Amino acid sequence: MAVNNVPLKDFRNIGIIAHIDAGKTTTTEGILYRTGINHKIGEVRGDGDGATTDWMAQEKERGITITSAAVTCFWKGRKINIIDTPGHIDFTAEVERSLRVLDGAVVVFDGKMGVEAQTETVWRQANKYGVPRICFVNKINQIGGDFYKSLDTIHGRLSKHALPIHLPIGFEKEINGVVDLVDMKSYTYGDYTDHEMVQGEIPADMLDKAKNARSLLVEAAVEADDELFERFLDKGEESITVEELKVALRKRVLAGDFYLVTGGDGRGVMVEKVLDLVADYLPSPLDVDAIWGTNPKTGEPVDRKPNEAEPMSALAFKIATDPFVGKLIFIRVYSGKLMSGSYVMNTATGEKERVGRIVRMHADKREEIDSISAGDIAAVVGLKNTFTGHTLADVAHPITLEAITFPEPPVSIAVEPKTKADQEKMGIALQRLAEEDPTFRIHTDEETNQTIMSGMGELHLDILVDRMKREFNVEANIGEPQVAFRETIRGTSKAQGKHAKQSGGRGQYGDVWIRFEPTESGEGFEWGDEIKGGTVPQEYRSAVEKGVRDTLAGGVMAGYPMIGVKATLYDGTYHDVDSSELAFNLAGIISVREGIPKANPVLLEPVMRVEVTTPEEFMGDVIGDLNSRRGRIEAMEDLQGGAKLIKAFVPLASMFGYTNDIRSMSQGRAASTMELANYEEVPPNVAQEIIEKRKK
């Protein structure tokens, strides 16, 4: 089918999301093979060609997905844009930005493990963006794989509103197909590598089980339609046709709080059933509500419908550096049509930019196209100052769509070039990597003059350093990981900041009174202005604010940025001749140094939500070790196969090298994930040590 002939109702923009190692990339490979894009299935691990969507050298070596890759394929008249996302917690931003622009998702579960730690995280992210999804329990044909136990974990940890639409025939290695509960037929295969499944009758020993499961499915489906519901109550399940059941199930799935579940092997012919579910039940761009944004000129809310006739609007959700074409900007077009060679307005910067070329991405391969219309996803070449979260809009009809928010990176390392030749190259490399990754930050430490890289975890920073070496040929020395501590205040204080100098000619005079108090949210910085009359003229107030803001950014206790502070300017005096912006800026700085020590300042540290999966015999060692790291055990749960799940909150400062430590204490059989939970107050004795270390 020609690419441009697919109507919008037959588009599907989907993400494949899951915990690390559940089989997302393998499932994507299976989809590409079954839809004729690939002639064989790439191996995620091993010495083969590697998976199509894991195209970076680091991904092939480590067997994990790092960047979300976009691919397009066709199935039974539907055009499917797929984004294969990472499962590792350090790359959670990749999942976040992908879900922001997708209409639906396939959640993959490891059938031997059921719901795992990161599954819960990606499920929460999908809930946040209201993304309808279907569930695929992978690996159920392997030893230890169990569809029904995995379904129980979905009910226990994610949602009770997840019902099977297929039941597996057989168990573990004996699995050879499924019972489809919609048409009540069996679909079997001789080998999972077969090219098609054979339709037949339901095995006699599964008939009762299938009938019970279908009744639950029909009961859930008819809730979507009053007329069907009444007919179901009056005349029973038999009165609902297969077509009516499919329409009702689709309505339930699109509502975003009901999930269809299937199971199989991501490499095998069962993937065709997953594709059928994507085609039949996940939303097209037309099923999604009009997107709302604001008019950047007036601030008024405006909407855009998924229609070619509407003014063009698109969201940039990912930046990638391509060795052949330079900067690629992945966009989702929400309305109108974007033509190559046209001019667009970047409403985040207010600049007009020219679209050079538009390319349809197939992982790291490209196909050039002339235009991209509402509902579609592609990459654009030639935009100079467009970054993640920026809106591109019709110049005559600007709109700013809601940007994507990312967490602050909690881990930092110092990095310095090995040679003089590496110095200049390192600056360019770091800038490029920071453009691609919104959770990667770089700054220069003013005291030591070192370049500091900040990221979401040790693996994240490790891979960025590796990319710097491979892609930009920069050799660098790396320091020990550092924690991104913060400072805040628990009390309130008032302080005078007075800067007065007379030295013969014109002097300097600035005098302010400022009240410092904690913000309600405990985050960020808030500025208040309660000046009545002209005690501090308007033109000097922004200089005071800048002095306060800049000083708080450098910290007061130990030099860490201060958050959760509200500073209110409420009084002051000025001099007709001697006052200046500089004098009031210095007055603002003095007020912080005077006032913050009196407002009960405290040190904050990032605390991680840690989840450890371990065989029962190592549970005592794992818990003892977490306690020794100042951890708080929150819960313990039983998992499939006799494993235990331990949930805890542990300060990040105690968690460096934990992955290796837990492997050695469990003979390599325990695994852990961690993500930033919040910032908490550091105990006074530990805080004192940190402050003294900083002073040295």
Mean per-residue pLDDT for 454-460? Answer: 78
Q: Would the pLDDT of 89 be above 50?
A: no
pLDDT in tens, 331-344: 889 999 999 889 99
Mean per-residue pLDDT for 446-472? Answer: 79
Contacts of 121 (CB under 8 A, 6+ apart): 89, 92, 95, 675
pLDDT number for residue 40: 41
Sheet holding 326-335, edge to edge: 351-354, 343-346, 391-393, 313-322, 326-335, 377-381, 357-362, 365-369
Residues 424 and 569 in one domain: no
pLDDT number for residue 525: 92
Rounded Cα–Cα distance for residues 366 and 71 (Å) = 10
Residues 539 and 578 in one domain: yes
Residues 96 and 187 in one domain: yes
Q: Would the pLDDT of 540 be above 70?
A: yes
Residue 233 lies in a domain: no
Beta strands in 467-615 (DSSP E): 476-478, 482-483, 486-489, 493-501, 508-518, 525-529, 565-573, 601-615
In which band, very low, low, confident or very high, does the pLDDT at 614 lie, cut at 50, 70 and 90? confident
Q: What integer best gives the mean pLDDT of the chain?
A: 83
The angle subtended at Cα 600 by Cα 598 and Cα 604, nearest 5°, is 135
- Residue spans of alpha helices (H) in 207-345: 207-221, 226-235, 242-254, 271-281
pLDDT number for residue 50: 41
Rounded Cα–Cα distance for residues 369 and 381 (Å) = 12
For residues 140 and 150, the answer to whether their CB atoms sit within 8 Å is yes
pLDDT number for residue 488: 94
Residue 33 lies in a domain: yes
In which band, very low, low, confident or very high, does the pLDDT at 93 lie, cut at 50, 70 and 90? low
Kindly state the tokens that stand for 570.
Answer: 């409420």
Residue 29 lies in a domain: yes
Window from 12-16, 510-514, 635-639 with minimum mean pLDDT: 635-639
Bridge partner residues of 360 (DSSP): 367
Residues 450 and 393 in one domain: no
Pairing of strands 377-381, 357-362: antiparallel
Closest CA to 360 of 346, 341, 381, 342: 381
Residue 220 lies in a domain: no
Look-up: residue for tokens 């004996």?
Answer: 174
Rounded Cα–Cα distance for residues 373 and 5 (Å) = 12
Look-up: residue for tokens 């070449």?
Answer: 381
Identify which of 111-120, 161-170, 466-475, 662-671 has the greatest average pLDDT: 161-170
For the domain that residue 378 is a member of, what is the CATH number? 2.40.30.10
Identify which of 66-80, 199-213, 307-321, 380-394 has the greatest average pLDDT: 199-213
Bridge partner residues of 380 (DSSP): 329, 358
| Residue 637 CB burial class (10 angstroms; 0-12, 13-18, ≥19) | middle
Rounded Cα–Cα distance for residues 279 and 104 (Å) = 11
Rg, C-alpha atoms of the chain? 29
In which band, very low, low, confident or very high, does the pLDDT at 47 lie, cut at 50, 70 and 90? very low
482, 504, 524: which is the final residue of a domain? 482
In which band, very low, low, confident or very high, does the pLDDT at 633 lie, cut at 50, 70 and 90? very high
Q: Would the pLDDT of 587 be above 90?
A: yes
Q: Would the pLDDT of 197 be above 50?
A: yes
pLDDT number for residue 43: 41
Kindly state the tokens that stand for 158.
Answer: 């994610």
pLDDT number for residue 68: 43
Rounded Cα–Cα distance for residues 208 and 318 (Å) = 49
Tell me which residue range forms the domain holding 111.
9-215+257-282
Mean per-residue pLDDT for 504-523? Answer: 87
In which band, very low, low, confident or very high, does the pLDDT at 428 lie, cut at 50, 70 and 90? confident
368, 401, 434: which is the final residue of a domain? 401
Tell me the C-alpha to C-alpha distance, in Å, between residue 208 and each of 27, 162, 184, 188, 239: 31, 20, 12, 19, 19
Rounded Cα–Cα distance for residues 678 and 696 (Å) = 28
- Residue spans of alpha helices (H) in 517-558: 538-553
Rounded Cα–Cα distance for residues 457 and 462 (Å) = 9
Q: Would the pLDDT of 51 be above 50?
A: no
Contacts of 294 (CB under 8 A, 6+ apart): 300, 301, 302, 399, 400
Q: Considering only the C-alpha atoms of the chain, give the largest distance between any 2 of them, rounded to a whole number of Å.
A: 105
Q: Would the pLDDT of 320 be above 90?
A: no
Mean per-residue pLDDT for 556-585? Answer: 90
pLDDT number for residue 592: 95
Distance from chain centroid for Cα 508? 50
Q: Would the pLDDT of 294 be above 50?
A: yes
For residues 276 and 197, the answer to whether their CB atoms sit within 8 Å is no
In which band, very low, low, confident or very high, does the pLDDT at 4 lie, cut at 50, 70 and 90? low
pLDDT in tens, 221-248: 998 888 889 998 888 888 889 999 999 9
Residue 244 lies in a domain: no
**How large is the angle between the packed helices 207-221 and 242-254, nearest 10 degrees?**
60
For residues 529 and 514, the answer to whether their CB atoms sit within 8 Å is no
- DSSP states along 172-188: GGG--EEEETTTTEEEE
DSSP assigned state of 9: G
Q: Would the pLDDT of 361 be above 70?
A: no
* Higher per-residue pLDDT: 518 or 288: 518
Q: Would the pLDDT of 54 be above 50?
A: no
Residue 60 lies in a domain: yes
599, 617, 641: which is the final residue of a domain? 599
Rounded Cα–Cα distance for residues 401 and 36 (Å) = 36
For residues 51 and 38, the answer to whether their CB atoms sit within 8 Å is no
Residues 322 and 418 in one domain: no
Residues 35 and 142 in one domain: yes
- DSSP states along 11-71: EEEEEEEESTTSSHHHHHHHHHHHTTS-SSPPPSSSSSS--SS--SHHHHHHTS--S-EEE
Mean per-residue pLDDT for 438-445? Answer: 80
* pTM over cut 0.75: no
Residues 272 and 194 in one domain: yes
**How far from each other are the two terminal CA atoms of the chain, in whole angstroms?**
68
Kindly state the tokens that stand for 382.
Answer: 């030639």
Q: Would the pLDDT of 639 be above 70?
A: yes
Using left for φ > 0, alpha for ψ between -120 and 50, and beta otherwise, residue 470 falls in: alpha
pLDDT number for residue 5: 75
pLDDT number for residue 667: 79
The total of structural domains in the chain comes to 5
Q: Which amino acid is at 39?
A: H
In which band, very low, low, confident or very high, does the pLDDT at 637 lie, cut at 50, 70 and 90? confident
Contacts of 150 (CB under 8 A, 6+ apart): 109, 110, 111, 113, 114, 115, 137, 140, 263, 640
For the domain that residue 37 is a member of, what is the CATH number? 3.40.50.300
- Residue spans of alpha helices (H) in 129-185: 147-157
Residues 353 and 453 in one domain: no
Rounded Cα–Cα distance for residues 219 and 216 (Å) = 5
Mean per-residue pLDDT for 169-188? Answer: 90
For the domain that residue 451 is a member of, what is the CATH number? 3.30.70.870
Rounded Cα–Cα distance for residues 567 and 528 (Å) = 6
Kindly state the tokens that stand for 532.
Answer: 């009545």
Mean per-residue pLDDT for 390-409? Answer: 84
Closest CA to 132 of 249, 305, 292, 298: 249
Residues 512 and 660 in one domain: no
Q: Would the pLDDT of 481 be above 90?
A: no
Q: Would the pLDDT of 65 be above 60?
A: no
Closest CA to 456 of 674, 682, 681: 674
Residues 108 and 153 in one domain: yes
Residue 323 lies in a domain: yes
For the domain that residue 576 is a member of, what is the CATH number? 3.30.230.10
Residue 231 lies in a domain: no
Mean per-residue pLDDT for 508-513? Answer: 92
pLDDT number for residue 92: 57
Q: What percent of the chain has pLDDT over 90?
A: 33
Residues 369 and 466 in one domain: no
pLDDT number for residue 26: 77
Mean per-residue pLDDT for 32-40? Answer: 65
Residues 191 and 83 in one domain: yes
